[in-house]
Amino acid sequence: MEEVKVVKIFTSQDNLQAEMILDTLKQNGIPAYKKDADESGFMNIYGGNSMCGEEIYVAETDAERVTQILQEMGLE
């Protein structure tokens, strides 16, 4: 089985924006995941949302298409 290389494609402003991006990517058939930036995990737990941001990761082979989608969303 070949290992998939992932790349960070975007850092969102907060958890809500990250979820919006992940949903859009899912609708376009692109697997992605998010990872807390800095200490945002604690802020999400205690405050319900964090302003520290979330990092979005995708397979390297999807990066070009994701960049186009983010541009269409007005994010890049």
Give the Cα separation of 33 and 74 in Å (integer). Answer: 20
Give the Cα separation of 71 and 47 in Å (integer). Answer: 30
Residue 49: per-residue pLDDT:
54
Residue 14: per-residue pLDDT:
86
Residue 55 structural domain: 6-72
Segment 39-56, tens digit of pLDDT: 545 555 555 555 668 999
Residue 15: per-residue pLDDT:
85
Is pLDDT of 68 > 60?
yes
Is pLDDT of 59 > 80?
yes
Q: Which CATH number goes with the domain that contains 34?
A: 3.30.70.1530
Residue 64: per-residue pLDDT:
97
Give the Cα separation of 54 and 38 in Å (integer). Answer: 9
Task: Let me know if residue 1 belongs to a domain.
Answer: no
| Number of domains the chain contains | 1
Q: Which two tokens stand for residue 61?
A: 């082979």
Residue 36: per-residue pLDDT:
83
